[in-house]
Amino acid sequence: MSPKITTELLKQLRQVMKSPKYVQEPVQAYIVPSGDAHQSEYIAPCDCRRAFISGFDGSAGTAIVTEQHAAMWTDGRYFLQAAHQMDNNWTLMKMGLKDTPTQEDWLVSVLPEGSKVGVDPFIIPADQWKRMSKALRSAGHDLVPVKENLIDTIWTDCPQRPCKPLITLDLSYTGVSWRDKIVALRSKMAERKVLWFVVTALDEVAWLFNLRGSDVEYNPVFFAYAVIGMNTIRLFIDGDRMTDPAVREHLQLDSTLDPEFKIQVMPYGSILSELQAVGAGLSPKEKVWLSDKASYALTEAIPKAYRYLTPYTPICIAKAVKNASETEGMRRAHVPKGTVTEIIAADKAEEFRSQQKDFVELSFATISSTGPNGAIIHYKPVPETNRTLSVNEIYLLDSGAQYKDGTTDVTRTMHFGTPSAYEKECFTYVLKGHIAVSAAIFPNGTKGHLLDSFARSALWDCGLDYLHGTGHGVGSFLNVHEGPCGISYKTFADEPLEAGMIVSDEPGYYEDGSFGIRIENVVLVIPAETKYNFKNRGSLTFEPLTLVPIQTKMIDVNLLTQKECNWVNDYHQKCREVIGAELERQGRHEALRWLIQETEPLIRVQ
């Protein structure tokens, strides 16, 4: 992987930062966040502005360019990757390390007095704008919205915004009709005494209307906003997608519905002016509900006194708790229905996945990495780095797919030869952490971040750790990363875990220059049986939905407790039963033999 040469691009950007054509006054710094106007984690190629200007294309990062400097903030998952992809024009700011300045502190330290810092108001979330604007103002600088995106002005071959056909999902997949979802949403609005709700996150629009798209790779979403009133529904969406008869039928666009379920379709680009019109027409006490992560531009469209902002929207919370149809779908999606260089292995995995019933696309770029590439946490193989799998190196495969009945995400770490004692030791600690979370029992109302240390305890005891969270929420044929729950030391504002939520359990260990280990299952939050049941408060635990053998060759059985050993054996027994039965039914005897061999019970000698 050679770095992108950005000298010329930075020169052009610094010119437009001073050009009266684009800015009222010159800006001394320009912020390039990684999001799009919907604060999506995964973004369309036309929104990859930070990757365009810097070369660094990981999923998280913020670039800031001043007249003299160019700096990139990213987290532990991407330290290695960013260092490889950026040239010497860039300074890497390693977030989470003690001596790394925040963006605000760094700006204050490098800017001349009374500077203006520009940012695209559609890309920056309102909460970030507020924090940064305050910090800059108190140091005598100003954060200013720059309407025209300055990266777009120099990005001559910027791809078009995608506008792909939609998929309609019927009740057998979603369990609840879009009309019933609107009814439930309006009742939440009435509870909070708000008159309008603005849907800005792409997966929330998709979930609300039981529609899916493919505008963003891996995430089955489409570019749209919605504004829901107590008697009106406005959907802002472009292209001829609303002429598709299946979509018209699904949304009942041509039926003479109760007026409160009549969807008004409007151009995607008209959201700002429509929202400004809503804002201008409000009387005192009439409120508009927005996520506090909605863009600064849309948030500003509603006068401050009329805004009702929350970190998690009612759609986000409803979406996280999967109903019976969705849970059953997720179970089906994890069972087969239908080996090498890193790329061939990844392609093969995709090929196998694509033969499954209800397959739509991958849920993220497959991470197929061997040896030292495994230590790059979000590594994606490309021809320059492609390594041959060997019997001497650990191989890590993190892959997932979008099926109409669910979203999968699984990581397994394997050795095709004889692993070293140290590799087995590290693998076994990671496994102990995986089991500690998966088997944890905890009272109703517990937030996921309180479970994060369980995953690390065995590693910590030996002085090892990993620089990422332990788990993320998983959507139901939606984004593979979704809020409001997760298992991470980094979050505190997560919502409590509830039966029906689905998260990943994926501790790891990464040895720079040598190997990477991660063991990941998607798990469902379920009620637990306990002796005393928290005085009827109720208990929760996890049920693994992913059923893929964990390579026993990598396990140092003597580092496991009997309880942990039993967990592995019970898990493998379940893999045999559920997956084995399906393989048998399909007549896939070779695969079945492999499964039986890989799920032989562990025996602990003690």
Rounded to the nearest 10 degrees, the angle between the axes of helix 452-461 and helix 421-438 is 150
**Cα 82 off chain centre by:** 19
Question: Considering beta carbons, is residue 341 or 453 the nearer one to its own copies?
Answer: 453
- Name the 3-class secondary structure at 515: strand
Least Cβ distance, residue 106 to its own copies (angstroms):
15
CB of 162 to its own copies, least distance (A): 38
Measured from the CB atom, the residue of 173 and 454 that comes closer to its own copies is: 454
Which H or E element spans position 537? Answer: none
**Residue with smaller CB distance to its own copies, 334 or 447:** 447
Non-local CB neighbours of 84 within 8 Å, separated by 6+ positions: 1, 3, 376
Give alpha helix (H) positions in 220-263.
Answer: 245-250
Nearer to its own copies, 20 or 463 (CB): 463
CA–CA dist 382, 404 (Å, integer): 29
Angle at 452 between CA 451 and CA 453, to 5 degrees: 95
Distance of CA 453 to the CA centre of its chain: 21
Quick one: DSSP state of residue 388?
B
**Residue numbers of the site for its own copies (CB under 8 A)?**
98, 138, 140, 284-285, 305, 440-443, 445, 450-454, 456-457, 460-465, 489, 492, 530-534, 537, 539, 561
Residue closer to its own copies, measured from CB, 110 or 343? 110
List Cβ neighbours of 90 (8 Å cut-off, separation of 6 or more): 6, 54, 55, 56, 63, 70, 71, 72
Q: What is the DSSP letter of 546?
A: -
| CA angle 598–602–606, rounded 5-degree value | 160
| Residue 463 Cβ vs its own copies, minimum distance, rounded to whole Å | 3
* Residue whose CB is less far from its own copies, 9 or 451: 451
Q: How far, rounded to the nearest angstrom, does the alpha carbon of residue 447 sit from its chain's CA centroid?
A: 19
Is the Cβ of residue 131 or residue 179 nearer to its own copies in the bound state?
Answer: 131
Six-digit token pair at 505?
Answer: 């359990």
Nearer CB in complex with its own copies: 42/78: 78
Q: What is the DSSP code (8-state) at residue 395?
A: E
Shortest Cβ distance from residue 585 to its own copies (Å)? 38
Q: Quote the tokens at residue 123.
A: 């890309």
Nearer Cβ to its own copies (4/468): 468
Q: How far is the CB of 338 from its own copies (least distance, A)?
A: 40
Quick count: other Cβ atoms within 10 Å of Cβ 273?
A: 12
| CA torsion, ordered 122, 125, 128, 129, to nearest 10 deg | 30
**Cβ 460 to its own copies shortest distance, Å:** 5
**Whole-angstrom distance, CA of residue 600 vs CA of residue 598:** 6
CA gap 220, 241 in Å, rounded: 15
State which residue, 217 or 511, has the beta carbon closest to its own copies. Answer: 511
From the list 221, 222, 294, the residue with the least C-alpha distance to 481 is 221
Strands 502-505 and 521-527: antiparallel
- CB 586 → its own copies: shortest distance, Å? 39
Residues near 99 by beta carbon (within 8 Å), at least 6 away in sequence: none
Retrieve residue 233's tokens.
């529904």
The nearest distance, CB 426 to its own copies, in angstroms, is 9
Grouping H, G, I as helix, E, B as strand and the rest as coil, residue 186 is helix
Q: What are phi and psi of 187, to 5 degrees?
A: -70, -35
Q: How far apart are CA 499 and CA 201, in angstroms?
A: 24
Determine which helix (DSSP H) or strand (DSSP E) holds 66, and give its type and residue range.
strand 62-66
Q: Nearest approach, Cβ of 444 to its own copies (angstroms)?
A: 9
Q: SS3 helix, strand, coil % of the chain, rounded to 5?
A: 40, 20, 40
Output DSSP code: residue 440.
Answer: -
CB of 462 to its own copies, least distance (A): 4
Q: In the complex with its own copies, which residue's Cβ is closer, 41 or 495? A: 495
Rounded CA separation 566/111 (Å): 59
Could you tell me the smallest distance in angstroms from the CB atom of residue 427 to its own copies? 14
Structure tokens at 117: 């810092």
CB nearer its own copies, residue 403 or residue 466: 466
CB closer to its own copies out of 112 and 267: 112
By beta-carbon proximity to its own copies, the closer residue of 450 and 591 is: 450
On whether the CB atoms of residues 308 and 288 are closer than 8 A, the answer is yes
Q: Distance (Å, rounded) from C-alpha 345 to C-alpha 363?
A: 17
Of the two residues 360 and 464, which places its CB atom closer to its own copies in the complex? 464
Closest distance of CB 307 from its own copies, Å: 9
